[in-house]
Amino acid sequence: MTCELRTLLFTEQPVRAQLTQLTQSWRRIIENHDYPSSIQTMLGELVAASLVLSASLKFNGSLILQIKGDGPVKLVVAECNSELGIRATAMFDKTTPISPDADFKALVNESGKGRFVIILDPKDRLPGQQPYQGIIEITGNSIAQAIEGYMAQSEQLQTRLWLQADSNTAAGLLLQQMPSTGGIVSAQTAQPESTTIPESLENAWDRLLMLSDTLKQQELLENTSDVIAKRLFWQEPHETLAVRQPSFHCTCSREKVARMLKSLGEQEINEAIVEQTVLSVNCDYCNSKYEFDAVDCAALFMATLSNNTSDSTSKDNLH
């Protein structure tokens, strides 16, 4: 049982690595969901990607990765907060049989209209402030290639990802070149003023890519990040900057569901409660079930009235 995220810094070149391996948190994400295996693999890769990217961003808030599909899979979401709390879900057409061998393109980019979305939602978002959102067309035929495509378009830092998932484990490796000015590494290199990567460092980057490309699927899934780091990079001087423990964390709550129901309007809710007696809302991420009966539903709109009025007489009438 492992859930870890390891950050490595190569001491003789401006490159950082993030390695993650998740077992029980990953199994918590997929339990009770019954995902077809090809969708499950894609979801696990997106979860691993959200962790390694989140660690490389140093952003205080939640990183949300979304694949908006145009095939049988409509949406795949993985979310990771600054404390490495993760949750994820996939929505797909349950009436179409999905082959276990269906590839990424067939699942989410059938007619080339799939989109990859990255959202950065700051922890202390000010009222009215919108989260940062970047959307691009999906390129490549895997989660890793789609993300690399995004990184190539949006920033200068070269980034490569290796992602794997099965029903037990989700795992990933990220390599990222760091700016060659400023920071710890450039202080140790001979040319701190340089803004371009010297040729010898380009070679070093290529060597790290080559080493990482030797990773076999089962190798990444079956070994802890410590073993992978030693196996791949034993000849590349590096230090471990951090080893942290991600865990499953869902942000749903009865209050949030109440707000969502309220936003549908009193008339719609009244009609629904007459039809169904109890309104039941399931969280797509953790499967928690929230139930609202007629009294709960009536309370939703009474609260609105009391919040929206400054007239003490009507408040008294409500309580």
Of 17 and 29, which has the nearer Cβ to Zn ion? Answer: 29
Tell me how far apart the alpha carbons of residues 24 and 147 are, in angstroms, rounded to a whole number: 25
Residue 149: what residue type?
Answer: G
Residues 95-134 that bind Zn ion (CB under 5 A): none
Q: How far is the CB of 43 from Zn ion (least distance, A)?
A: 16
- 35 or 233: CB nearest Zn ion: 35
Q: Is 185 in the site for Zn ion (CB under 5 A)?
A: no
Q: Does 205 bind Zn ion (CB under 5 A)?
A: no
Contact 164, 172 (CB under 8 A): yes
The kind and range of the H/E element at 216 are none
Contact in structure between 65 and 77 (CB atoms under 8 Å): yes
Among 233, 248, 285, 292, binds Zn ion (CB under 5 A): 285
Task: Say whether residue 286 binds Zn ion (CB under 5 A).
Answer: yes
Candidates 157, 252, 272, 300: give the one binding Zn ion (CB under 5 A): 252
Token readout for 7 is: 């950050």
Residues 6+ apart with CB under 8 A from 140: 104, 146, 148, 149
Q: Which stretch binds Zn ion (CB under 5 A): 63-71, 106-114, 277-285, 301-309?
A: 277-285
Q: Which stretch binds Zn ion (CB under 5 A): 51-59, 64-72, 99-107, 288-296?
A: 288-296
Is 283 near Zn ion (CB under 5 A)?
A: yes
* Residue 173 engages Zn ion in binding (rule: CB under 5 A): no
Q: How far is the CB of 250 from Zn ion (least distance, A)?
A: 3
Q: Give dist(CA 144, CA 301) in Å, integer.
A: 46
Cα separation, 281 vs 152, in Å, equals 40
Tokens, residue 73: 């899979």
181 CB-near residues (< 8 Å, 6+ apart): 192, 193, 194, 195
Q: How far is CA 98 from the centre of its chain?
A: 23
Give the residue with the Cβ less far from Zn ion, 133 or 288.
Answer: 288
Report the alpha-carbon distance of residue 108 to residue 34 in Å, rounded: 18
In the bound state with Zn ion, the residue whose beta carbon lies nearer, of 154 and 253, is: 253
Spatial distance between the Cα atoms of 4 and 114, rounded to a whole number of angstroms: 31
**How many residues make contact with Zn ion (CB under 5 A)?**
6
Out of 47, 138, 250, 257, the residue judged to bind Zn ion by CB under 5 A: 250
Span near Zn ion by CB under 5 A; candidates 59-67, 225-233, 237-245, 286-294: 286-294
Written as six digits, the tokens of 145 are 């290639």
Q: Which stretch binds Zn ion (CB under 5 A): 18-26, 27-35, 164-172, 245-253?
A: 245-253
Q: Least distance (Å) from Zn ion to the CB of residue 142? A: 28
Only segment of 100-108, 172-180, 192-200, 244-252 that touches Zn ion (CB under 5 A): 244-252
Task: For residue 272, give both structure tokens.
Answer: 């629904």
State the Cα–Cα distance between residues 18 and 87, nearest whole angstrom: 19
Residue with tokens 């939602």: 121
Between 200 and 288, name the residue whose CB sits nearer to Zn ion: 288
Whole-number minimum distance, CB 33 to Zn ion, in Å? 12
Q: Is 297 one of the binding residues for Zn ion (CB under 5 A)?
A: no
| Residues contributing to the site for Zn ion (CB under 5 A) | 250, 252, 283, 285-286, 288
